[in-house]
Amino acid sequence: MGAESVGPLVVGVDSSTQSTKALVVDASTGEVLARGQAPHTVDGTAGKESDPRQWWRALGEALAQCGPAARQASAVSVAGQQHGLVTLDAAGEPVRPALLWNDVRPARESEQLIADGGGPAAWAKRIGSVPGPAFTVAKWAWLRAHEPAAAAATAAVRLPHDYLVQRLTGQPVTDRGDASGTGWWSSTTGAYDPEVLERVGLAPAMLPRVALPGEAAGTVRTDELPLPHGALVAAGTGDNMAAALGLGLRPGQPVLSLGTSGTVYAVSTRRPADPTGTVAGFADARGDWLPLACTLNCTLAVDRVAALLGRDREAVEPGGDAVLLPFLDGERTPNLPHASGLLHGLRHDTTAGQLLQAAYDGAVFALLRALDELPGTDAAPGAPLLLIGGGARGDAWRETVRRLSGRPVVVPDADELAALGAAAQAAGLLLEEDPAAVARRWGTARGAEYPAREQDTATWGRLTATLSNAALLWGS
């Protein structure tokens, strides 16, 4: 911790699929004074599950790595992976491992919920989103159908970030951003939807209170973590909403996030309601909206292809006509939960580097198709794409986005944007300011700029034709 710091300190936490990261930040300047990170494990034997208690242990380890700076924090905020189903018993202990966002087992329950609720358009109008397999409501329906004893033992349902906030404060609190990814919070009313809750057999008392933007969840009431007792705890939010805060996004600025999942989103002042289900009508953490599309297969899928080919992830080669759709875990956007990876156009002269490039092309193609559906970004079609996430640091990812989009790209210098956004939320609470304005003052979106290049329409056309034919193969 530097002696130059004069502002109050805040802690921003990002509890993601694979690890928990913690940043101690000077609330006045945005300077990161200390950081820590601890891993999680994901059980992929049947679906995608994690024991929530390991998130709490990882949070403690990450904060301990921050040293004495964490104990001087005045406020804390937690961002967490969206959609996860955390089921707690009457004592507050997990009934079973949490079902994570990328668990596609609830595909059948999702289809049934959509049908029972009047179809996709009715869901979009009422809830703001069409509840695909990733949504918490589909996961709860799956649990009731496949593990009725676990569902019966459940006294409380939480999202991953809710679970950590409750252990910090002793209070069951969530926020509108993360709640909007459940499928039982209505963007029309700004409250839990009683009809949806009744349909899935979930009592309102089993859910956390939804805090208003800028409202505290409580204060630190635990002695298990190296945080000051009594420090303010913000309501927290979902990881994508936190990253939007971390960038200080203004309405219409498009973002591509390249991580375990790929996401495209932009802040909007208009409530989104996409009846096709491509764009989720999420709320943001401030009072606006965050229309977002998410793909399941992004950096991990491409890394897996690189490993199969025995190549470094950057060892791509141009040329060739091969098309590779890397839908290794099924896919959410497009909605193909039963999909698998598909290779088309293999020739004798196709090289391993060209196959790897085709995997990048397939992953980026899915994201850019979804970006075209986002409301509010068409006003400035040539606006730079903000490229974030672990993949944004890779040359192959960045150049693939430039080549397939034909648009300029900005890669912000700031990293760990979800944790930084959580820190901005904590700072906004502490300083009584708009957290996005706090992040803009910190200059978090500044970074390297890459000009537009000519769009590769030939590759785009091959990908479009292959996806159209493959969708028939996968039954969608």
Residues forming the active site: 239
Whether the bond into 334 is cis, omega within 30 of 0: yes
**Encoded amino acid at 214, one letter:** G
d(C-alpha 64, C-alpha 83), whole Å: 28
Using left for φ > 0, alpha for ψ between -120 and 50, and beta otherwise, residue 128 falls in left
- Closest by CA position to 242, among listed 216, 265, 219, 274: 265
Residues in the chain: 476
Segment 402-406 long-range contacts (CB within 8 Å, at least 24 positions apart):
402/450, 402/452, 402/453, 403/453, 403/455, 403/456, 403/459, 404/361, 404/364, 404/365, 404/368, 404/455, 404/456, 404/459, 404/460, 405/364, 405/368, 405/371, 405/455, 406/452, 406/453, 406/454, 406/455
Q: Which residues pair with 85 in a beta bridge?
A: 99
d(C-alpha 125, C-alpha 65), whole Å: 46
Return the HEC string of 384-407: CEEEECHHHHCHHHHHHHHHHHCC
**Encoded amino acid at 66, one letter:** C
394: which 2 tokens?
């890779």
Q: Is 448 helix (H, G, I), strand (E, B) or coil?
A: strand
CA distances from 155 to 81, 88, 137, 208, 280 (A): 22, 6, 16, 12, 28
Question: Quick check: 175 and 185 in contact, CB under 8 A?
Answer: no
CA distances from 23 to 52, 61, 380 (A): 21, 12, 34
- Closest by CA position to 455, among listed 409, 401, 405: 405
- Closest by CA position to 180, among listed 253, 316, 272: 272
d(C-alpha 76, C-alpha 429), whole Å: 9
Question: Quick check: 385 and 401 in contact, CB under 8 A?
Answer: yes
**What are the backbone dihedrals phi and psi of residue 209, each rounded to the nearest 5 degrees, phi first?**
-65, 140
